[in-house]
Each structure stands twice: as structure tokens, then as C-alpha cells.
Chains A and B, each alone.
Chain A
């Protein structure tokens, strides 16, 4: 059933190309050239607000700019349409969206089908906790104004779409060093 749904959606949206190619990889047929088929991993992490504005995006697979925008809009729509009483995993094309809502901010991770959804769900919480520690009570504005730092934190935690570090203080170590450098 799944494959069918995906197939269906794939052709529907602009982001189709990548997904379609991946799909074909799975099906054992053809594939476009440039697309790296994903492993078991996180394919992207997004932060979006209720208005659908992107606050942070990080892709672990190459994606064209236009595809990114389309994907982001789609993903936001998926997550916004979910209520509190619905689960935080959405099947979307051939991957899954794992999301968490913090006030008006949604953090969305796209993961491949066989990634452990719960662990990614935990990771998002962990990520927010780290941000919270660094910015002491993080807000949407903090993220916007310090995009580079947020990226630095994220890069410490996730690289290549794999979780590398979850210890809060070791995640913040480079950043603290950087701040010292800037001050001193």
C-alpha cells in the first residue's frame, strides 16, 4: 500500500524528482543520475513557525532550491494539519516526518523509512534543550538572530544525517570556545 501512496504523491508535487528516483531505486528499476539514495538517516531538519516561515533548514541530501521551498511548504502543511491528539509521525512521500511543536515553532525532521522514529523524536527534544541551555530560554527570535550559532549547534549534534553527539556540554564546547575567542 505504501509504495502506491507514495508513487501517487510523487508525481504530484514539485519535489517529486528526488523522491521518484529514490522510489525507483527501491523498486529496483532505473534511477536518475544525480540522486544519492539515502541510507538509514535523517534527510533534513527544519524549523518553521505557524505561519510557515522557515527559521532554520539543514539538508543532508542535496536538493535544488526550488525543491527545498516546495518541500518545506509541504512539510509545514503536513505538520500543521496534525492535532495534539495525533501522532507526531507523518508518512510523507517515501520518507517520514517526525516533528515536535514548541509554542509556535515546529521542528521537523525528515527521516528515511527505516530510521527509528522515536530516537529522532528524542533527538529533537535534545536539540531544543541544548538551544535552551545556550540561549537560556530560547525563543524564535534567538534562532533567527543567531542562525549561524544554531547551525553550529546542530552540526555538532547531527552530521551527515547521523546523530553524533547528544551530550549537552560537549555539543556546546566549540561554541563556548568561539564566544571566548570573540570576547577575548
Chain B
């Protein structure tokens, strides 16, 4: 044994370590591959040894080789071995290798689960750290699921080092295992306020990342982040937070307003450029989101633009680049502010750095106006001439066209100018954007009728000089324009001055060297021209011209008939036959021109790019089935139609929008070649430096004489755009002069002494287009709407994380954390936490359900208790938004179970979304803001505890110091009682409640269900506001005190042990009606066999419970009492007494009040959501017994009816379809109660099923009673 160890260490001495390997590779430059392969062999040997040190060394070397690009996946198992070493030195090598080599499909990963879990819980923080780091690189969905709970525990580790890492890796876990988000979120949120800045920043990172994808779920965290933003000094964190706000503001404009100030402060104060840049970016984003309603932020915009200008003027290229980048964002909403910096941007076009030039170009795109378009384009044309390198020049070209054609040629005032620009662009050597120019030419000619004469003339010249363009076949990109030229000349041949000459040009033998699709257009349009010539010669007595033309056609067409391109061939032979026939007729002196013209009659209108998509698919046509078997891959590319761009709107016809088809691929391949050719670092495949275009059909066979043209070509006889600029200037001048004259005249007419008014720089509107521009819109199929329907990508991994976390409690209300959503826990751990006698799973789920039920209740109760809530909101507000928002679920259920609650607890936040949202409202509404917030204030300001109406607002000893504001509002607003008996006040109250309801309605409509059917939500979310409902009923009252009970509002079955009985919590509101102080209240109930009041340990069965508060005059407070109940199938009544001391200045007296507690069967029901499929199963199983009831004369909307049942009887709607709804509830002891409610006129029929008929009967009776009361 000892020998073995010695041997191992000796071996090791002779092994190469990483350094040796690196050195070796450097020494074997010439035969590196060979050397490495011997090394790999050695490593394989080393891996076979038992010594872990040797293995680790080998794995370390493998990591290096992997970096060099060698596949080391074969050693995956060895890596796992090294990972599981107990020594940190080796372990980290293993983890490093794993993080570099493992990926989701590495199968050994599943072997690592236990090892990683062990490492995560290792006492050595570095073990844990290295495991976390490694895990973040290779976490798989399985690992995420299995380890989520362990990592979550680590989030609360004592060492910040671990906490930080655990928090960060949680993001990866969420991505891989979205179910973990809900349970982990509360803790993650906690970490935002971790004392360690590192952990805090990690949490910020993760939440920012989550929020960026699904911002709406994180809106409620805004106050917290705001606090962090104003307090943090860490720039990295600040940047993240500011980014996050950028994502949130579009959802909540008020947030934006709040942000502007601190952000501008930061912009002013910070010296960190990265932070400045981020702030500017976010301010821009905020302003964009505000731009609709808030025009008064020009100061902020100005500030941003100024700062950006400084960046752009900076000598640091990085800043310049970013400045331009940010500038382009401003441009979108505030073009005016950017336009004033035109000089700077044009200057950037001369920059040495291409990426800066490209950014500047982008900016120019948005800066053009009618006024400066010509000037800018002129500058750009200059750059085109100067530009080195095709890429940049092509970029310029596309930009020019983009700029000119944007928003339907909005900025072009003179189309003659534009056409001449296009013609000038055809001089570009070696551009690959010929088709772009061509499609522009076509588009303009087709859509701007007034320009046709001019365009046709230009195109004719172009055709005439075609040899100059096509002289060099290498530049075939540009010959695409001939396609357009030929088509325009043919289609609008009536405008041609000399059609015969053009016809001649189109039939030159040289044309046969053009690409096939262009030839085809030539032939077809030659026929059109032919028809025009015939027509013009028709009346002519001298028929020689006509005959010559016919002869010309007959002579030249055979060339095309022989074309290799089928299309050309077909068209040519067709037309040739036609011409021959015409010749025959002509010889017989038959007038044929009309008929020939008729062949090409009719206007061709542009078709909208989306038109095809909008054509409805005829019935019975399946577009997805193959008509024939799919063609084989090897099909020659020559068969592909080359150009499809004719008659499409230019903006959309660009290749970037078209689907990636074969042709596109070919084009891109070509583009890539071109780029590679320009790239000095690319080793070219062919020895010649010439670019070879292999995929141009029909061209490669033609021997081409190279013409080397270094000087840009001037196409003779073509007008230059410059002259149009001049002309346009003159025209505008004239126009202006005329206008001025007119104005002057008018002025003089109006007031003789009128001062001369210089109209200053002309405004946009003043420039009238030179032509009456008639831009033809595209055709669409009937009934088609030109809407965009961009479908969202269903596979986005972040979609799974779109979970409403706004408030987990809120969610629990809707849907409890189901079993499946609990993080998987190894059972031995779980049992430590939960001491339930039942299975762990069951208790978890029950607990969850219980929570949900409670939450639901709570939310409803909120409505009745808004005063309390608002009180508390007030507090929160006072506490400078310190409020942490929601409590953890756990804490909360504890609260509910605790039978005695002090005053502070009663006032504790009813943690429902409503509170949360209004909270956000409060936070946002610090500034004077719209009605929404005002409303919130009113609600909040309205009332302190329930005070008998009319009684003067007495200050409460404990509350008054904090609540001065409340006091003010108290005096201004008479307090309302919730009780129904105050009829005259009910109206007002109703209004208030309605508002409140609207309020959270407004905030939550987004997460409601479908339209027709509502699933598992309360109906109230969807429909018009409901009348207020209260579950409180009067318990007893005397001159001193009033007791109101909510009928057993909280129902819990904590033990989950049904035989031992269940617990029912009763909330009782005590209200002091007299002028004296009430104290020493004791609550006692005479226990029955079935129901017992739960008393603290040691108390006898007849002892009363002390009510944990005293009541000053006019104040009310709430206490809760827990009862345990045996059987729940029958309603029960319990007799009770309340004793208390009435104390005033003179005396104190003992008083007593008797009451009867009424436990309805309803109170044993827990609102439990149920899914329709589960519901259906339940009904199918047949264990349930049915019963039904009919209610007559119910006069309320259906959704009110449902809401009432939900509210008073603790049901939840499973599904609702029109006037029919299925509802579900569950009793404390697990009885299912199903309800089918149908309404017809004033009759409501309810079919109910339950596994306990007695319970069902009672519940139905109670429902009946509820509706008979109203």
C-alpha cells in the first residue's frame, strides 16, 4: 500500500504538469498537432491511474487543451471523479474543467447531483463557492430541479460570499426550472436589502434580469429600487437599477415622472461615464414613455442632448460611438432637438472609424426633413464618391435610398431630383445593391404618375447607354437597374419621345449577355414598345417605319429564341410568332395596332407587400401538404427565379424582410464572399483576387472581356442631380418670393402701414412639392386590414418566467403553491420542518390551500377594512417607503392562527395586492398626480376605525402622534360606518367603495382570465363594480359597546387531522359607542359538546379570554378568537358573554353584554380554487350526492350573484359560460361542494353536489337565505 503511494508520487514527478504542457506546445511550433496528440495519449494513461493528484493534473491539462479547441468530452467521467475529490485543490480543477466542457447534453451530469449537493452544504465556504460557480455554467433542468431547494437555503447562508453566489445562480435555476421562481421569490426579494452590498448587487442583478423580460410583475418593487437607487454608491449596481427602471417606466408613466429628477441629478453630478451614459439612456427611455402626455420635459431632453454632444465631441472614440448611439434613441421621439446638431453628425461621417460613420448614417436617417433632404443627400453622394471599400459604400447607398424613401417618400419634394440621384447611383462600381436601385426606380415610376414622363426619358437614356453599365460583367450587380429601365420604358412607352430608338436599344445583340431574368423583361417590353410604335404609325400613309420596326423585331428576336433561359426563350418565340402574324396582316393592310395594344392594356398597380398573406385560403385547400414530393436538394440554382422585387413597396421589399429562401441564401453567400475578399485576414479560396459570381445564371459561360475602369463612369447625356438641386432651390426661392408678395399684398390690403414681415426660415409646410405627387397606395385584398400580426415566439425560455410575482400572496389567492410548485425537498429534511403526522406532501398542499383560502378571504375583507388598510398605508408612507411590502407567506398564516392579536397586529398590513398596489400608488403619487392617486389618497384619508357616525373625532392615544394627517382628513370627512343600517350614508359609502374597487380592478385586469369563461378567478375582476358586501353582522349591542362578528371568517385546519376537529376563527369588531373608556374586556363562551373556544393552556373551561386591547371613546378594534369544532355538518349556536369596565372621569363600572355566536355551515367552507378538469373528474367519480334548489325573483346581474355566493359562502368560480357557472368549495374537513348555478330571467337554479348531504342541505338553505334577504 505504502509502496503504491510512493510509486504514485514518483510517477507524478515524471508527469508533465500544465506548465510543461504549455512549454512543450510552444517548443513544437512546427508539429503542434502531433505533439498534442502524444500529450493526449499520456493524459489518457494518467487518467487510468488511481492517484487523484495525477488525475487532477491530467484534467487540468485537458482544460487547457479544450481551450485550444480540442474535444475532451471523452474525459467527462474523469472530470466528475476529480470533482468529487475531497481536497479543494483538486476539486476546483474538476469543477473548472466541468464548467468549461460540460453542457446540457453531457450525460454524466446526472451523476453529479449528489456530489454537488454535498459540496453545496460543505462547511468550507470555498467548496460551496466553487460548486456554485461551476453549477452556473452547466446547470441542466434536472440539476436545477433537484438542487433548487439547496441553493435557496444557501441564499440565507451566514457568509455573504456564499449568499452572493447563491443569489446569482438562482437566475440560471429559474431559467432552467421556472417552477422554482414562485417559491424562491420572497427570499430573493429579501436579499435586495441584504446588509452586504455584494449580495444586494447580486439580487439587483437577478431581479433586473427577470424584470427586463416580464416587467409588469415587478412593478411593485419600484419603491424599493428607488430607495436603493438614491442610497447606493456602487456604480455597477446603479447602472443595473437604472436599466431596470428603463424597463418599468413604459408600464407606469408616473414612475417616469418620479425618476426624472434623481436621474438628471445623477447626470449632473456623476463623473463615471458609464453611469452617465446609462442615466442618459434611461432618461431618454422615460421621456419616450412619457412623450404622450408630458410635453414639459424639454429641459431634460436638452440636458441629455448637450451631454451627448460632449460625448460625441470627445476625442475618445468609444464615447463618440456611444454618444451617437444614444442620440439615435432620442431621435425617435425628439427629432427636433437632434436636428440642431446636424453639423456635428455630418462631421462624424468623415471619421476614421467605420462604426462611427455607420452610426452617424443611422442618425441622418431620422434627421432629414423636406428642407434639408437634398443637402444631406448631396453630402452623402460626396461620401459615396470618396468612400473606400465596398462595404461602406454599399452601406451609404442603402442609406441614401432609405433616407429618401422613408415614410412613403415623405420628404421628397422633387422627384426629378430623386430619379437623377438614382441614375447617378448606377455609376457605382461593384455595388451589390443594383436591385435596390431598380426597385426604387420601379416604385417611383409606378406610384408617382407625374414623374413618368421624366422617368421614361431617363430610363431610355440608360438603356441606350446600357453597354457602359454592363461593359464589365463583374459589376453585374448594377445591371439590375436595366431590368427596371426596360420595364419602365415598356410599360409607359406612350411617354417615350423616340420609341423606335429605344426599341432598337433593347434588341441589341449585347443584351443576350445579360442575366436571364433581365433578358426576359427586355423581350416582353420590346413587345410593348413594338405595339406603341405600331399604334403611332397606324394613321401614317407611309408604312415604311412600321415595316422596318416589324423587320427589326423579326431580325433580332431569334437571338432570344435561342436563349438558354427558358423564360426568355418562351417569351421570345411567342412574340416572334405574333410579330410574324402581324407582319402578314400588315401586308394585307389590316389595321392591327388596336388589338396589339390591347394585349398590354390596363394599368398595373402596386401590390402591398402583405397582400398575399391576407388573401384568405380557400376552403379545402391545405397549404402544408405537398402537391408533389419535395424537390431534391441538388436542384440547380439556375432554375430559381432571380428577381422577385418588381412592384413591391420599397421599404418592405428589401431582402432583410423576405423569408430566407434559396435565393436569399445564395445572395448572402455572395455577399459573404465579397466581404471576405475585402477582409485582409481572410485567406481566399481562389488564387485570383477577382470576385467570382458563381450563382448568376447564364453568365459564367460567357467569355468576358475585362474593362478596367478606375474612374467612376459618367453616363453621358444623363442629367446630374446637382442641377436639380439648383433648380429646386430656385423654385423654392421663387415660391417664397411669391408667397411673400402675396402676404405683403394681403397685409397691405388689410393694414396699409403694415410692417414688412420677414417670414424667417421657411417652415416645413411652406415647401410645396414640385409635382402634384400622386403616390398610389398599394392594393390589398378586400376586407384585409393592414395590421401587423407579429406572433410571439412561443419558445422563448423567459416566457416560462412570466409569473405574476407582483405579490406572491395575491398569487396564492388565485392559485396556491401547488404540490408541484413546492421545491422538491428530500423527505428527511422536510419532516424536520413540518411535524405533521400525515404525509409531508399532503400537509404541504393543505397548508398551501389553506393559505390560499385565507388570502382570498382576506382580500375580500379588505374591502370592509379599507380604513385599516389605509391607516396602515398612511403609516407606510410616513415611513418613507420603508415598507417591505409583503410578509412571507409563512409569517402570515401564523398571524392568522394566533388567537390573540394586539392592536398593532390588527393594524398590521393586510397583505393583499390591493394594499400592495395602492401602496405603489402612494409612493408614486407624492407629486401632484392624476385622479387615480387622488382617489387613493381619499380612500386612505377616509377613516380610522369604525366610529359611530356623527360622533366627534376623538384622538386616539396611541395613534394620534403618528397620524396628524389622518386627523385632518378625519375632520374634513365625516366617518362612515360600514353597517347597512345607516341608510342615508350608505350611498356615499358605496361610491367610495366603488372607487376603491375600480382602483384595484384597474391594476389587475391584466392578469384576469379569458373573456367568455372565467376560470378560477373571482368574477369581480372582470366585470363592472359590485355593490359593497360585508360579512360582518351585528352580534350584540348596548349603550356602551357594539360587537360585530364576521361569520367565522377564517377557517383553518392546521393539524390536518380531521377527526380531532377543525378550527374556526371568528373576527369580532368591538366598537366603543360611549364617551367613556372601555377596558378589561373579557370574552367568554359557553362551550358545547361540538364547539369549544380555544383557551390558553392552563385556563379552565369556563375562564374568559382577555381582549388584548382597550377602547378609547369612539374607537373600534378587532379581535379574533379561535374555536375548535367537531362536526361541521350542522349549523351551531353558542352563547357567550362579554364583560368589561366602563371608565370615565368620575367612576368606573362593570358591565356585561350577552351575545349568541352563530356558526353557519357556510363558515366551515374554505374558498378553494379548482380547475375545471379537476372539477369534471370530481363530478364524474360519482361519490357525490346531489340536491338542488330554486330561487325566484332574484333581481341582480349574474356576476353579482356569483360574487355574492363567492363572498358570503366561500365558493370559487370554476368556470363561467354566459349565464351558467360552476363553482366549488371545500369544507374544513375536506368535503367537496360543487355547485352549478344557472340563471334564467329572475329564476336562479342551483344544482349542488356534495359528499355530505346534511352539510349540503344546510349550505343551500343558507344560500337561499342570503338571497331572500336582498
Q: Which A residues contact B (CB, under 8 angstroms)? A: 1, 3-4, 7-9, 11-13, 24-25, 28-31, 33-34, 36-37, 39-41, 54, 56-60, 62, 65, 68-69, 77, 80-81, 83, 85-91, 114, 116-119, 121-122, 144-145, 147-148, 151-152, 155, 159-160, 162-166, 170, 173-174, 177-178, 181-182
Contact = CB atoms under 8 A, between A and B. Distances in A.
Nearest to A147: B64
Contacts of A80: 681
Interface stretch (B521-529, B591-599, B795-803, B1073-1081): B795-803
B67 A54 contact: yes
Contacts, number: 186
A77 B172 CA distance: 31
Interface string B286-319: 0000000000000000000000000000000110
Interface string B230-245: 0000011001000100
A86 B92 contact: no
Nearest to B204: A162
A1 B656 CA distance: 9
Contact of A91 (B18, B205, B213, B355): B355
A116 B19 contact: no
Nearest to A83: B352
Given A85-B352, A86-B355, A178-B126, 9 more contacts: A1-B402, A11-B672, A30-B793, A37-B798, A39-B213, A86-B352, A89-B322, A118-B274, A152-B92
Contacts of A164: 164-165, 168, 198, 201-202, 205
Contacts of A24: 793
Contacts of B322: 89, 117-118
A86 to B, nearest CB: 4
A69 B68 CA distance: 8
Contact of B672 (A12, A56, A68, A117): A12
A68 B69 contact: yes
Given A87-B321, A159-B168, A41 B19 contact: no
User: Which of B67, B93, B208, B365 is packed against the most chain A CB atoms within 10 Å?
Assistant: B67
User: Which of A9, A144, A159 is packed against the most chain B CB atoms within 10 Å?
Assistant: A159
Contacts of A62: 103-104
Given A28-B793, A178-B126, A12 B668 contact: yes
A162 B205 contact: yes
B256 to A, nearest CB: 18
6 contacts: A29-B791, A87-B353, A89-B321, A147-B64, A159-B168, A162-B168
A140 B64 CA distance: 14
A69 B70 CA distance: 10
B1192 interface: no
A147 B67 contact: yes
Given A25-B796, A28-B790, A87-B321, A8 B67 contact: no
A108 B680 CA distance: 20
Given A11-B665, A12-B671, A166-B236, A31 B168 contact: no
Contacts of A69: 69
B353 A85 contact: yes
Interface in B79-125: 88-89, 92-93, 96, 99-100, 103-104
A117 B352 contact: no
A4 B274 contact: no
Nearest to A167: B198
B71 interface: yes
A178 to B, nearest CB: 7
Contacts of A40: 208-209, 212, 243
B404 to A, nearest CB: 15
A21 B909 CA distance: 46
B681 A148 contact: no
B259 to A, nearest CB: 17
Contacts of B1114: none
Contacts of B168: 159-160, 162, 164
A132 B161 CA distance: 23
Contacts of B69: 54, 65, 68-69
B422 interface: no
A145 B24 CA distance: 12
Interface string B51-72: 0000000001001101111010
Contacts of A30: 793, 795
A151 B68 CA distance: 15
B277 A118 contact: yes
Contacts of B137: 59-60
A56 B274 contact: no
B89 A178 contact: yes
Contacts of A86: 317, 352-356
Contacts of A145: 18-19, 22
A152 B161 CA distance: 14
Interface in B668-682: 668-669, 671-672, 675, 679-682
A91 B22 CA distance: 33
B318 A170 contact: no
B294 to A, nearest CB: 24
A36 B175 contact: yes
Contacts of A25: 793, 795-796
Nearest to B202: A164
A25 B213 CA distance: 13
B654 interface: yes
Nearest to A120: B274
A29 to B, nearest CB: 6
B96 A87 contact: no
Interface string B192-223: 00000010011001001100110000000000
A88 to B, nearest CB: 5
Contacts of B399: 1
A162 B202 CA distance: 8
B171 interface: yes
